[in-house]
């Protein structure tokens, strides 16, 4: 079980690292802040550059937290919230990524939620520092609640921008 959780955490962290550095640095074929800001503004997230920076840094911090298993519920909540916002923005194109839909952010957010329920496992910095009580249904529900509540702020701002257009 612990090996599976470690692999899940590392794989998700690696994907989130790539996802965030595409936005922030233009790595892995990404558009960087300027190019991504244009897309964000089309989606109704303004000002685009600031929103890209917020999303990218949130994804990067969440990746670090999950990958190292450090303050895991917080990192999971950050990823759930950030990916919920991304899923809302891409959902008009359907679910599947092939059509530009919300499959990828849904998957990343769902994996973070799962880790929020299970905790990071024995091979984590949380465990090394004695932070072992952060698992179970209550923590998972808390991760979802905090993440989705935080996502409501940019989603509401986006809705106002799109209505004004």
Tens digits of per-residue pLDDT, 106-141? 999 999 999 999 999 999 999 999 998 888 999 999
Question: Quick one: pLDDT at residue 117?
Answer: 97
CB atoms within 10 A of CB 18: 15
DSSP state string for 139-151: HHHHHHHHHHHHH
Alpha-carbon distance 118 to 4, whole Å? 11
Tens digits of per-residue pLDDT, 3-62? 999 999 999 999 999 999 999 999 999 999 999 999 999 999 999 999 999 999 999 999
Alpha-carbon distance 76 to 110, whole Å? 10
- Does the structure show a pLDDT above 90 at 92? yes
CB 106 within 8 A of CB 79: no
Tens digits of per-residue pLDDT, 142-158? 999 999 999 999 999 99
Question: Quick one: pLDDT at residue 149?
Answer: 98
Q: Name residue, tokens 């590392």.
A: 10
Question: Quick one: pLDDT at residue 1?
Answer: 86
């Amino acid at each position: 079980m612990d090996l599976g959780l470690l692999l899940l955490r590392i794989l998700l962290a690696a994907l989130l690292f790539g996802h965030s550095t595409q936005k922030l640095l233009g790595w892995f074929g990404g558009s960087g802040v300027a190019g991504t800001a244009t897309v964000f503004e089309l989606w109704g997230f303004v000002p685009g550059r600031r929103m890209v920076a917020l999303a990218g840094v949130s994804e990067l911090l969440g990746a670090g937290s999950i990958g190292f298993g450090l303050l895991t519920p917080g990192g999971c909540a950050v990823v759930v919230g950030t990916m919920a916002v991304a899923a809302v923005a891409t959902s008009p194109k359907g679910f599947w990524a092939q059509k530009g839909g919300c499959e990828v952010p849904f998957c990343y957010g769902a994996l973070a939620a799962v880790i929020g329920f299970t905790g990071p496992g024995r091979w984590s910095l949380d465990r090394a520092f004695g932070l072992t009580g952060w698992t179970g249904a209550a923590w998972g529900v808390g991760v979802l609640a905090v993440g989705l509540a935080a996502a409501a702020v940019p989603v509401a701002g986006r809705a106002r921008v799109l209505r004004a257009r």
